[in-house]
């Protein structure tokens, strides 16, 4: 076989495989959207679920998912940024950083159900936070933190050394150099990575079953006092998220329209993650322009 034929065959095989993957993905996405989109309405997105009657919505669950995401980000962003900056700028490369990196890798590939059970034992019971948004956010931190650390570390490492040297040579301190010269350059990459990692947090279910709980108290959306038990903002109340809700009504839903609700909720979930991804690209490009090109 000539080199030319081999090249042609290889190209054909690779294109076929890629096409096959695209087909599976598009099929899956299309199927979920086809089944669910028809069910999405303003009422569906805002009203509370019904236990045994038809016509329930996913309002509280959607709110819980978004709120839980915000709480998780409040915990992970400072920790992830700090650890990532430490790893890339302060730590001397060696055994200790290799060890930290290994732990981070292991942490990010933990099975989520294990993290959920760990959360139940330690956060919910031992520390006594109960089934709550806060417990859920801590469990999600276990997944999200490694991602944030890696994203920050890589983004900081990709800042040209010449920028760092120029700043230090002006007599600026290391911290000022990191804060005012390096972080602005790394920021678009960090932001994009953060939004992408938010997609994973949004879709997580297994880790939340035993931490954020499978029920939502009756919420009063007029009560914005975060300490009140019926307030949606109270971080110490149980909160069923969208992904958990899908799992629950699929396995034990009593409402006659449970399959439709599950399909609709799945479509909402997928669409939200899709929006996160598109947003990440758009904002990333915008930031890149803002920081590098002319205004």
Contacting positions for other proteins (CB under 8 A): 92-93, 160, 162-173, 176, 180-181, 184-185, 291-295
Nearer to other proteins, 171 or 222 (CB): 171
| Residue in the structure block whose two tokens are 């938010």 | 198
Cβ count within 10 A of residue 176:
13
| CB 97 to other proteins: min, Å | 12
| CB 292 to other proteins: min, Å | 6
| CB 157 to other proteins: min, Å | 14
Query: Could you give the CA distance from residue 119 to residue 290 in angstroms, rounded to a whole number?
Result: 41
Asked if 49 contacts 61 with a C-beta cutoff of 8 angstroms, the reply is yes
Query: Could you give the CA distance from residue 76 to residue 192 in angstroms, rounded to a whole number?
Result: 15
Nearer to other proteins, 175 or 224 (CB): 175
| CB 101 to other proteins: min, Å | 17
Compute, in degrees rounded to 10, the torsion defined by CA atoms 109, 92, 153, 67.
Answer: 70
Nearer to other proteins, 144 or 167 (CB): 167
| CB 94 to other proteins: min, Å | 10
| CB 188 to other proteins: min, Å | 11
User: CA dist 271 to 29, 150, 168, 265, 293, Å?
Assistant: 10, 26, 45, 10, 32
Query: Could you give the CA distance from residue 101 to residue 148 in angstroms, rounded to a whole number?
Result: 12
- DSSP letter at 171 equals T
First-to-final CA distance of the chain = 56
Nearer to other proteins, 180 or 225 (CB): 180
Nearer to other proteins, 96 or 166 (CB): 166
Nearer to other proteins, 188 or 235 (CB): 188
Q: In this structure, what token pair is assigned to residue 175?
A: 């911290």
């Amino acid at each position: 076989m000539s080199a030319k034929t081999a090249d042609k065959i290889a190209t054909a095989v690779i294109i076929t495989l890629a096409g096959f993957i695209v087909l599976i993905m598009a099929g899956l996405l299309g199927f979920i959207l086809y089944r669910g989109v028809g069910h999405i309405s303003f009422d569906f997105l805002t009203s509370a679920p019904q236990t045994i009657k038809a016509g329930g919505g996913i309002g509280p669950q959607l709110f819980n998912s978004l709120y839980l995401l915000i709480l998780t980000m409040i915990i992970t962003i400072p920790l992830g940024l700090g650890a990532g900056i430490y790893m890339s700028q302060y730590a001397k490369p060696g055994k200790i950083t290799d060890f930290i990196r290994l732990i981070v890798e292991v942490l990010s590939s933990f099975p989520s159900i294990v993290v959920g059970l760990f959360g139940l034992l330690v956060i919910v019971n031992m520390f006594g936070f109960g089934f709550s948004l806060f417990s859920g956010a801590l469990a999600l931190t276990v997944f999200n933190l490694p991602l944030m650390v890696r994203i920050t570390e890589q983004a900081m490492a990709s800042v040209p050394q010449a920028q760092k040297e120029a700043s230090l040579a002006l007599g600026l301190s290391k911290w000022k150099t990191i804060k005012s010269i390096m972080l602005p350059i790394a920021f678009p990459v960090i932001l994009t990575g953060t939004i992408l990692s938010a997609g994973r947090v949004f879709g997580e279910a297994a880790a939340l079953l035993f931490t954020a709980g499978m029920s939502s108290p009756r919420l009063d959306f007029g009560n914005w006092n975060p300490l009140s038990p019926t307030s949606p903002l109270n971080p110490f109340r149980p909160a069923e998220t969208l992904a958990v809700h899908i799992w629950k009504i699929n396995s034990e839903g009593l409402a006659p329209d449970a399959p439709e609700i599950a399909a609709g909720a799945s479509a909402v979930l997928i669409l939200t993650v899709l929006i996160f991804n598109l947003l990440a690209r758009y904002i990333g490009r915008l930031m890149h322009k803002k920081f590098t090109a002319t205004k």
